[in-house]
Structure 1
Amino acid sequence: MKVIGVDVIRGSIRSRSRRPGYAFVLLEDGEIVEETEVTLHRLLRRLAEVRPEVLAVDSLQELAADQHELYALLQAMPTGTRLVQVTGGERTESLAQVAGRFNIRFNRLNPYDEARTTARVAALGAGAEVIAFENTTDIAVTRHRSPGRGGWSQNRYTRKIHGAVQRKAREIEAELAAAGVRYTKQETRAFGGSSRVVFTLPMARRDVPVSTYYGADVQVRITGKRL
């Protein structure tokens, strides 16, 4: 099991001039395999690369200033990664109290020690998962760039892009069928193929057996419906 724990070293998510830097700790099967400092942008990149089961934090306000930013963060995370606030949900307690239940001691003044502790208690089952979406998810396959207009060569280019969208949609449809997932499909046909195909699935975003994709001509975006 892979768990990433983070804690703010400096700055604040609410500040425009001093953006936060985070202590980043990657725990794999109970062992620390990476410790480093990351920005929020770098954190999202590492999440995409590592694809952990859990991103653990002791306070959501360290990652998102408001509900809008929280939705954006959850949409940007890999589909299989859960965001867990280890200090609880509606009724919270301190990280020290949570760690104490597992006989874990840490230095509260050391962000890396807090990040290690956050990851460890999350791996042991502490905390509450942050859920902001219904159990309905859209997979949208669209053009990654505009085909432009005019000319024979432009028509060929447009046909190439729309053909790529259609092929990618068929790949995803085959993946969903192989996984036994029910879905509805809306397809916008266009010159040479399709300009947009949307699959709607009756499941949570994290359970979708398809990944976000950005190619030269095609993009695949996975979005959950807000609660």
Structure 2
Amino acid sequence: MLIFGIDLITGSVRSRTVQPKYALVIIEDGDIHSELAVSLHRLIRLVHRHQPDILAVDSVQEIAPHTQDLYRFLEQLPSKTKLVVVTGGDRQIGLIQVAARYNITFDRFDPYAEARAAAQVAFHGEGVEVVAFEKETEITITRNRSPGKGGWSQNRYARKIHGNVLRYAREVEQDLQSRGLSYWKKEYKAFGGVSRVTFHVREDRNQIPVSSSRGGDVQIRLSGKRLDRIQYRPLTKRPKYLIVGVDPGTTIGIAALDLNGELVKIQ
């Protein structure tokens, strides 16, 4: 499992003058792979290059101060990469307390140490995944260039661009059909082909056999249908811990309490 853990070094996503810089710690199968300082733009590039399973943070405020910013940030992540808040969702606790559950200690004044702790905690299955999209994905295929105006050469150029959009759309449709995915599409006819094709697929982004891309005459963009409210889903369903008292003898008595001292079972 490949995990990116980050923590803010300087700057802020709220600032217009001082751009944020992050400590990035990369952990692979539990071992520290590398540590480096990155801008937000470079972080996104590295995430796309390495396709980590998890991007672990201790607060989404460090990458997206507002809900709309968080939606946009999640749209930039590869479909397989989960954004995980290791300190919890609506009810958060400190990273020090969470890390202590796994005997992880760190210097809270060192951003690299915090990023390392966040990645290690996520490796142990702690934290919540930030979920912002429904089980529906929109694939949009459009021109990447403007065909311009006037003249025979411009007409040939427009025909070439619109023909390429149509060709890419047919390839995407074949991929969807080969996977047996349910979808509906809408085409916008243009000279020599189409200027835009939209597929609405009833599946999560990580199940779509197409990636966002841009190059030449055509660009492809994947976007999920936004939930009305961002959700936080636990990475793992942790068992409920119990305190069990036993009175041995000819007849054994057993009582079980939860961690709040409430009686769960007596026998």
> What band does the TM-score fall into relative to the shorter chain?
over 0.9
User: Which residue of structure 1 lines up, in the alignment, with residue 242 of structure 2?
Assistant: none
CA–CA distance in 1 between the matches of 2:35 and 2:207? 28
State the AA in 2 paired with 1:119: A
User: Which residue of structure 1 lines up, in the alignment, with residue 170 of structure 2?
Assistant: 170
Residues 1:19 and 2:15 are matched in the alignment: no
CA–CA distance in 2 between the matches of 1:143 and 1:208? 21
User: Which residue of structure 2 lines up, in the alignment, with residue 186 of structure 1?
Assistant: 186
Deviation track 1:153-184 (CA, whole Å, cap 9, x = no partner) reads 11111011111111111121122122222111
User: Which residue of structure 2 lines up, in the alignment, with residue 131 of structure 1?
Assistant: 131
State the AA in 1 paired with 2:26: L
CA–CA distance in 1 between the matches of 2:29 and 2:191? 50
More deviation in 34-43 or 176-185?
176-185
CA–CA distance in 1 between the matches of 2:203 and 2:86? 25
Q: CA-atom RMSD, angstroms?
A: 1.2
Aligned residues: 227
Matches within 5 A, 1:1-227: 1-227=1-227
State the AA in 2 paired with 1:142: T
CA–CA distance in 2 between the matches of 1:100 and 1:174? 50
Larger RCO, structure (CA 8 Å, separation 6 or more): 1
Structure 1 residues not aligned, in runs of 5+: none
More strand by share: 2
Question: Cα distance, 1:204 vs. partner?
Answer: 2.3
Moved over 4 A (4+): none
State the AA in 2 paired with 1:59: S
State the AA in 1 paired with 2:38: V
CA–CA distance in 2 between the matches of 1:158 and 1:118? 50
Report the secondary structure of 1:132's partner residue: strand
CA–CA distance in 1 between the matches of 2:120 and 2:217? 41
State the AA in 2 paired with 1:22: Y
More helix by share: 1
Question: Cα distance, 1:119 vs. partner?
Answer: 0.9
State the AA in 1 paired with 2:128: A
Question: Cα distance, 1:9 vs. partner?
Answer: 0.7
CA–CA distance in 2 between the matches of 1:118 and 1:207? 27
Question: Cα distance, 1:208 vs. partner?
Answer: 2.4
Report the secondary structure of 2:134's partner residue: strand
State the AA in 1 paired with 2:31: E
State the AA in 2 paired with 1:218: V
Question: Cα distance, 1:205 vs. partner?
Answer: 2.5
CA–CA distance in 2 between the matches of 1:133 and 1:168? 25
State the AA in 1 paired with 2:192: G
CA–CA distance in 1 between the matches of 2:136 and 2:201? 6
Cα contact 1:82–1:206 (8 A) shared by 2: no
Deviation track 1:105-132 (CA, whole Å, cap 9, x = no partner) reads 1111111111111111112211111111
Structure 2 residues not aligned, in runs of 5+: 228-267
TM-score, normalised by the number of residues in structure 2: 0.82
CA–CA distance in 1 between the matches of 2:197 and 2:135? 20
Report the secondary structure of 2:131's partner residue: coil
CA–CA distance in 1 between the matches of 2:180 and 2:51? 23
